[in-house]
Chain A
Amino acid sequence: MAKEVKQSQPAAQPAGGAARGPRPARHRAIAVAVAALVLAAAGYYLVPAWRRHEMIARLQTGLPARPAAKGMAPQLAERLAQAEGEARDLRTTLAGLAELGRLYHASGFPQEAETCWRLLHQAEPKEARWCYYLADLRRVASDYEGLADLLAQTIALAPGYAPAWLQLADLQFKTGRMQLAQDSYEKRLALVPGDPYARLGLARVALQAGDKARARDLVAALVKDAPEFSPGHNLYAEMLAADGDTTAASKQRWLGRETTRFREADDPWLDELGAWCFNYEQLCIRGTVEYQTRHGDRGRGYFERAIRLQPGNPMAYGLLGGLYLELNNPAKAREVFEDGLKQAASVQPGVMYFVDLSRAYRELKQPAEAERVARAGLARLGREFELYDALGVALGDAGRREEAVEALRTAVALNPDDTNANYNLAMALVAVRQLDEAIAALKRSLKLKPTFPASLAMLAQIEIDSGRWEDAARYLQPLYESHPEMPQARRLMAYWHLRAGLAAEKANDPAAAERHYREGVAIDRNQPDLQARLGTLCLLQGRFGDAVGPLEEFHRLQPDNAQSSLYLGQAYAAVGRRDEARQVLTAGAAIAERMGNAQTAEFCREILRQLQ
């Protein structure tokens, strides 16, 4: 067929059917082609413009009505008006609409924000952010089917946006679609190598599949690679405990508590919305979240913005001042609190505002000012126990002990079981030597907080100082278990083991004594008495090899103690480390002579002679 057509065409003629017709027909064809080209060109340039105009008109008519201004920050109203103006301008419609969406989304107007994002999604269907913001709003509205759909769309448009994969994976996990969740976590992990959130998710998928061994391996690797990721430690601790490994579980528990509190994974698209927040309460919440998850700088920024938004509202001053107190900056805290009192003269601050300001003054060693603030709070707010508590502590700092006791007794009378008030009363009573009442107050302080460390430590110390070291255990055990990181807890617990070991030796129970000594040195290896008792116990039992370690520690801790040289020299000599024994004993003899301890010096020399 093709051959036939080719043969029918004159060789000089250009290819194309139009060459075959008569001239008018050819002219018509050319005219049609030209018209079509003109039409196409016009369409090419005019249609998009027309479509854009139509779209913008649609966007502009679809703009959300501005919410009632009542309660809205003037700054927000101003920014909304400006953004609406941009949205109504043909040249800046999309930018204005995006600004409106961000303002509404971040400032707590979800319905208006959703309208903006929907319009933008229609105008720019390839922009993943609009889908993602809509997904976030569906999440807030607890519409999880809508959320799933929008996350899928986001990922289709922006497969490289890792936070969306994490959101999707979590959603799949939480709706029981484990295989999909695993795939999504792996996608996230591919985008963010080592990501702890995805790794935790994968471990949990394994756990749900009943593969405990794999889950445990994954979590063990996670805590090793991401030691600051608290959920890993927390989950690992419970896994270890469930498997009976209590020691390792305790360590992980402690690590879990000491590491940063859980916070959601960074999500730049959502996080950046914070800059558009003009809602006072939302700024305070954002600031509190940042501060409690150890992002104090960001928290401070939010509180400062809240203050600018409502300078007459004391809440943000209180939060910012509290943040400065926690950051050990009482001068700045005082400045913020005092500023707040001036600026927020027409609004009554809460009790804690005065308590915290009083504390700032105390930390600045200005107890008279601390007292003034507490009394001002009482005058303004009435008989609140927290203010009597603050007053009592301030009076105690000022050395007005009897008045302090009186104020603190009032605080406790108003709230008999409050932990802080009772503890502070106990401290004040100790200062005026009313120990029995102090002990009663300390015990009351434990009613609502049974592991309140300051009270436990104080009660334990009182028992030890009173010679009732056995009774100290009831306070020391919970103190040490709950606060193993606390130096005082470690010191007291180690001391308790020393006393318990000595008692066991006295009761002719060397096994129990050794157990206590070993537990004691495990808690605090820098307790020389514990090391000495453990070492000499081993020496006495003829276990010279076991004695060397603790006696070396004893010697390290007390190198100028001739006894430490004597015991260590004996141990070295007994295990055949003769050169080291001679060296230590020679030094020990010299120290003993210098200190006038002739007997120890003679013992050292006696062993040295045997080593000749």
Chain B
Amino acid sequence: MSLRGSPLVPRAWLVVITASALLAGGCSRQPEARPVSSAGPAKTPVPLTAQQAHLEYVPVAIGSPLGENDRPIVTHIAIADLDADGLPDVLYCDARKNTVRWIRQAPRGVFTERIIGEDIAAPAHVAVADVNGTGRLDVLVASMGQVTPNNDRIGAVVILENLDNRNFRPHVLLDHVARVTDVRGANLTGRTDHRLDLVVGQFGYAQGETRWMENKGDWNFDSHIVNTQSGCIHTPVADFDGDGLPDFAALISQEWEEVHWFHNLGHGQFRDNVAWGSTNEDYGSSGLDVADVNRDGKPDLIYTNGDGFDYAVPGSRPWHGIQWLENVGNGYFKFHRVGDLPGAYSPCAADLNGDGFMDLVAVSGFADWSNPATVSIMAWLNDGHENFTPVVIAHEPIQLVAAAVGDLDGNGVPVIITGGFHALPPYQRMSNITLWRRK
């Protein structure tokens, strides 16, 4: 009411103020642009050469030599002192010959291969654990039934019972199930009988699952399914929440592309939690393992995505690479991208250059092999603050999906073991098992 008879001057000034505002940049018909993201266009760091990084390796073939018409399909490698002689050995799965093989190191530096598991259809993962409390390491094998896509219930869990550190007896603990991709031993139920329960990942295809198997003794196990999604690849075990009970994680690929962790609540109860997942349906999850990347005492997860076999056409998938999920406590994980690697598989962690920090390694199974510059083994050196510098370790042999890192030589310097997976052309620059030592 009071302004109704207000003087003219304020009205004039109102116009002036409006004009000034226009000149000053206000009164735009459109709102100001918000900053779209804290990050600008991603700059991919140029990898160092092994020479530049002083991280050169020399490859040596171990195990079965490559025959004239061989096209090895090595699906997994593990380093373990299977015969408890103090010298780490190499175990691997050969899905071309349906065998599990032991490359025994004895004496140091001398490797002799023998088959310890035969007629295990498409073995996909090998691990060791004293499942039956005998004091000897048994060999746990995940049998897919068939490596190439198949939804039939042809998976199996096979344990090669270690009879005397030389001879092994197979036990099929589970069969006619969705294709099995991982089996590991763990004391999930607070056992005091020295036996171990099992964690089992089942990729299946359209259907799959994740389960744990309670050890009832005498090679009898009860199954408990904890997740009913297809595409489970790996199931590493660790006490993620620091409550003293081993939990386990599962990398679930296919259309899900998620990492779950199963919280051990005790008394055989597990709670399924999503730790992280990609919204990219073609992310290509390919490998998951546990490592304390930032040395804070909490187990983190290292994770590769590089599976390109689904739509097996050469071509860039710029999202392929490696990342780590930082365990920030209380069951939460924080995603950190480490770097790119087309066709990345088999994440491994070790202090490669001896600087006290956890470095990462991955191999490539699927990439543009017509380009000789394509990388088949890449390392990422950690500066101690989890800033990673990529280093090209090798361009050949090509088509590697299996790798393991460990101190095979007993000198504190980790070696890398890789395995060739030659299911698709080109059938060139092939390998079976290769041991990579620091130059």
A352 — nearest CB in chain B belongs to which residue? B425
- A253 x B313 contact (CB < 8 A): no
A40 to B71, CA, bound (A): 80
> Is the CB–CB distance between B30 and A126 below 8 Å?
yes
CB atoms of B7 and A18 under 8 A apart: yes
Q: Select A47's contact among B8, B22, B42, B316, beta carbons within 8 Å.
A: B22
Contacts A29-B8, A239-B228, A350-B425 given: A173-B274 contact, CB under 8 Å? yes
Residue contact B37 to A351, C-beta cutoff 8 Å: no
B206 and A122: CB pair below 8 A? Answer: no
Chain B nearest CB from A529 CB (Å) reads: 29
Interface string of A1-42 (1 = CB under 8 A from B): 110011001000001111110000000010011001101100
What residues of chain A lie closer than 8 Å to B225, measured between beta carbons? Answer: 238, 241-242
- Determine if B207 and A174 form an interchain contact, defined as CB atoms under 8 angstroms apart: no
User: Which residue of chain B is the closest to A381 with respect to CB atoms?
Assistant: B425
CB contact between A18 and one of B8, B153, B271, B318 (< 8 Å): that residue: B8
Q: List 5 additional A-B contacts (Cβ < 8 Å) besides A36-B13, A141-B42, A482-B154.
A: A33-B8, A39-B19, A167-B279, A231-B255, A415-B69
A142 touches B18 (CB 8 A): no
Within 8 Å CB of A142, what residues of B? 278, 319, 321, 323, 337
Chain A contacts for B273, CB-based, 8 A: 176, 208
Residues of B within 8 A of A (CB): 1-2, 4-13, 15-16, 18-19, 22-23, 25, 28-34, 36-43, 69, 71, 95-98, 121-122, 145-148, 150-154, 176, 206-209, 225, 228-230, 254-255, 257-258, 271-282, 311-316, 318-319, 321, 323, 332, 335, 337, 425
CB-nearest residue of chain B to A482:
B152
Contact B145 A450 (CB under 8 A): yes
Residues of A within 8 A of B276 (CB): 174-176
Q: List 19 A-B contacts (CB under 8 A).
A: A17-B9, A29-B12, A40-B18, A44-B22, A111-B42, A115-B41, A142-B278, A142-B323, A142-B337, A149-B37, A149-B38, A170-B277, A173-B277, A231-B255, A281-B313, A285-B311, A285-B313, A448-B146, A451-B154
Give A465 to B332 CA distance when docked, in angstroms.
62
Asked if residues A292 and B5 are in contact (CB atoms below 8 Å), the reply is: no
**Complex contact A43–B337 (CB within 8 A):** no
- Given A20-B7, A142-B321, A264-B281, the answer on whether A288 and B37 have CB atoms closer than 8 Å is no
Which A residues are CB-close (under 8 A) to B314? 281, 284, 315
Which A residues touch B42, using CB under 8 A?
Answer: 110-111, 141, 143
A399 within 8 A of B: no
Is there an interface contact between A234 and B230, defined as CB atoms closer than 8 Å? yes
Q: Is there contact, CB below 8 Å, between A238 and B41? A: no
CB distance from A3 to the nearest CB of B (A): 11
Q: CB-CB < 8 A to B281: which residues of A?
A: 262-264
Contact status B228-A134, CB under 8 Å = no
In-complex Cβ contact of B271 among A20, A210, A262, A478 (8 A): A210
Contact of A126 among B31, B38, B71, B337 (CB under 8 A): B31
Q: A238-B207, A481-B152 are in contact. Are A282 and B315 (CB under 8 A)?
A: yes
In the complex, the chain A residue whose C-beta lies closest to that of B279 is A170
Contacts of A29 in B (CB 8 A): 8-9, 12
Partner among A36, A114, A235, A285 whose Cβ is within 8 Å of the Cβ of B41 = A114
The verdict on A153 contacting chain B, using a C-beta distance below 8 Å, is yes
Q: A-B pairs with the 7 shortest C-beta distances?
A: A17-B7, A174-B277, A238-B228, A281-B315, A16-B8, A40-B19, A43-B22
Q: Enumerate chain A residues within 8 angstroms of B96, measured Cβ to Cβ.
A: 417, 448
Q: Inside 8 A of A516's CB, which chain B residues have their CB? A: none
Q: Which residue of A lies closest to B3 (CB)?
A: A2
Q: Which residue of B lies closest to A41 (CB)?
A: B19
CB distance from A312 to the nearest CB of B (A): 15
Contacts of A18 in B (CB 8 A): 7-9
CB of A237 closer than 8 Å to a CB of B: yes
Q: Are B150 and A256 in contact (CB under 8 A)?
A: no
CB of A146 closer than 8 Å to a CB of B: yes
Interface contact A121-B33, CB-CB below 8 Å: yes
CA–CA, A16 to B7, complex, Å? 3
Known: A124-B30, A256-B207, A449-B150. A171 touches B279 (CB 8 A): yes
Please report A residues at the B interface, Cβ cutoff 8 Å.
1-2, 5-6, 9, 15-20, 29, 32-33, 36-37, 39-40, 43-44, 47-48, 51, 108, 110-111, 114-115, 118, 121-122, 124-126, 131, 134, 138-147, 149-150, 153, 167, 170-171, 173-176, 207-208, 210, 230-231, 233-235, 237-239, 241-242, 253, 256-257, 262-264, 281-282, 284-285, 288-289, 292, 315, 319, 350-352, 385, 414-415, 417, 447-451, 478, 481-482
Residues of A within 8 A of B10 (CB): 17
Q: Which residues of A contact B28 (CB under 8 A)?
A: 51
Complex CA distance for A315 and B313, rounded to whole angstroms: 9
Say which residue of B230, B275, B337 sits within 8 Å of A143 (CB atoms).
Answer: B337
Q: Which B residues lie within 8 Å of A118 (CB)?
A: 36, 40
A424 to B45, CA, bound (A): 50
Contacts of A207 in B (CB 8 A): 272
B139 to chain A, nearest CB (A): 21
Determine which of A47, A122, A170, A478 lies in contact with B23 in the assembled complex, contact meaning CB atoms within 8 Å.
A47
Report if A285-B279 is in contact (Cβ < 8 Å); known contacts: A2-B5, A138-B37, A143-B337: no
A282→B122 CA distance, assembly (Å): 32
Q: What's the nearest-Cβ distance from chain B to residue A63, in Å? A: 14
Q: How far is the CA of A124 from the CA of B34 in the complex (A)?
A: 11
Determine whether the beta carbon of B229 is less than 8 Å from that of A140: no
B206 near A256 with CB under 8 A, answer yes
Q: Are A140 and B36 in contact (CB under 8 A)?
A: no
Q: How far is the CA of A256 from the CA of B230 in the complex (A)?
A: 12
Q: What CA separation (Å) do A336 and B193 show in the bound complex?
A: 67
- Supposing A29-B8, A237-B207 touch, asked if A125 and B37 sit within 8 A by C-beta, the answer is no
Query: B69 → chain A, closest Cβ, in Å?
Result: 5
Q: Say which residue of B207, B255, B316 sits within 8 Å of A282 (CB atoms).
A: B316
- Distance to closest chain A CB from B337 (angstroms): 5
Given the complex, which residues of A lie within 8 Å of B122, measured CB to CB? 448
- Is the Cβ of B12 less than 8 Å from the Cβ of A32? yes
B6: A residues at CB distance < 8 A: 15-17
Q: Are A253 and B16 in contact (CB under 8 A)?
A: no
Cβ-defined partner of B36 (8 Å) among A131, A139, A170: A131
Residues of B within 8 A of A19 (CB): 8
Q: How far is the CA of A182 from the CA of B11 in the complex (A)?
A: 52
- In the complex, residue of chain B having the shortest beta-carbon distance to the beta carbon of A210: B271
A514 vs B154: C-alpha distance when bound (angstroms): 29
Pick the most buried of A29, A139, A234, A264: most chain B CB atoms within 10 A of its CB. A234
* B36-A234 in contact (CB<8A): no
Chain B nearest CB, measured from A188 CB (Å): 13
**Can you name the residue of chain B whose Cβ is closest to the Cβ of A416?**
B69
A40, B207: Cβ atoms closer than 8 Å: no
Query: Which of these, A36, A131, A175, A417, contacts B15 with CB under 8 Å?
Result: A36
| Minimum C-beta distance from B17 to chain A (A) | 9
Chain A residues lying within 8 Å of B29, measured Cβ to Cβ, are 48
Closest to B308 in A: A285
In the complex, what's the smallest C-beta–C-beta distance from B172 to chain A, in angstroms? 14
